Amino acid sequence: MPSLLWDVFCTVVDNHGDIGVGWRFSQGLAARGQRVRLWVDDASALAWMAPEGDPDVQVRPWQGMPPTGLAPGDVLVETFGCDIPPDWVLAVAPRPGPWINLEYLSAESYVARMHRLPSPVLNGPLAGRTKHFFYPGFTPDTGGLLRETDLAARQVRFDRSAWLHRHADGWQGEPVHNLFCYEPAGLPAWLDRLRAPDQPPAHVLVAPGRAAAAVRQHLGPATQHGPLRLTWRPPCSQAEFDEGLWASDTNWVRGEDSLVRALWAGRPLVWHIYPQHDGAHHAKLAAFLDWLDAPPDLRSVHRCWNADTPQDMPAHDPMDWVATLARARERLLAQPDLVSQLLDFVAATAPH
């Protein structure tokens, strides 16, 4: 496919997941020979998330009116339905030309039904234009997941022991839990179980932000609690975040981007799904666990971790989940990744 100029729009709502996906997507396009203008209303997180940047990705501020004299790109992408104002669409989107709404990730059945459907604009200044829904997903009838072309090779070269000796303070071979969560109701009980005197040694890598605040609220700032040792992680690049997932025995992840990265890690995982006020996240979580073909104890742990009130987490051994996650990863690797599928879609729909 020839090199095109993509305008990717992103609004940072909270927790940096929006810009995290936006950057990975933009960098994935650049790695395949495309040029990208990433328009974002708050790019501050990229200072630690992507400190090296990318020469083929221009990060541009998105606020107010579009810059004067802006040359239209070839493809327009709005991530997570960020609702690009008409004046921006008129400024950056060629007519005709592909206009993509890159949607949220879900394993629910509507994703396959909605994937690639057109959405014509019937009135207003954009009347006559059409955007298309593009849904990431876990099955071949969806848009797939973000995956770098060199991911497998980097994982083969990865030295787990060396990484943990550098990043896990005082690690001596004990099991490692990577904790990246919001404030799950079951967190205090989970921490209390790990630090009980009769438990074997365990090490928790605590992500900065909400996870660290929740742990500190229960345990305080100390790093040693009986057999439990904590490492307070600093903000890190996406590459280093991925390596932490590869290095850990169990990954407790949250949101969308870290779930996908944990699936590529192939290690046992527990997903803290983003809570919604209407409870819709429970159906979304159940659909994911069905796709995963999760065993009963993994389902029970997810229900407790994502419960609205504290619940006793059932006894479980994450090592029993290794085969389940390995099978899921193999299914995903057999499918085309999201960027490859979107490039094919644009090539088929772009005007000639």
Which residues are catalytically annotated?
18, 256
- Quote the CA–CA distance of 345 and 340 in Å, as a whole number: 9
* CB neighbour list of residue 138: distance below 8 Å, 6 or more residues apart: 107, 145, 288, 291, 331, 332
Which of 20, 8, 28 minimizes the C-alpha distance to 48? 20
- Quote the CA–CA distance of 334 and 138 in Å, as a whole number: 11
**Can you spell out the DSSP letters for 286-316?**
HHHHHHHT--HHHHHHHHHHT-SS--PPPP-
Instruction: Identify the burial level of 129 via C-beta atoms within 10 angstroms of its C-beta, where 0-12 means exposed, 13-18 middle and 19 or more buried.
Output: buried
104 near 260, Cβ under 8 Å? no
- Quote the CA–CA distance of 279 and 15 in Å, as a whole number: 19
38 near 23, Cβ under 8 Å? yes
Beta-strand (E) ranges in 103-223?
118-120, 130-134, 176-179, 202-206
Place of tokens 């459907």: 117
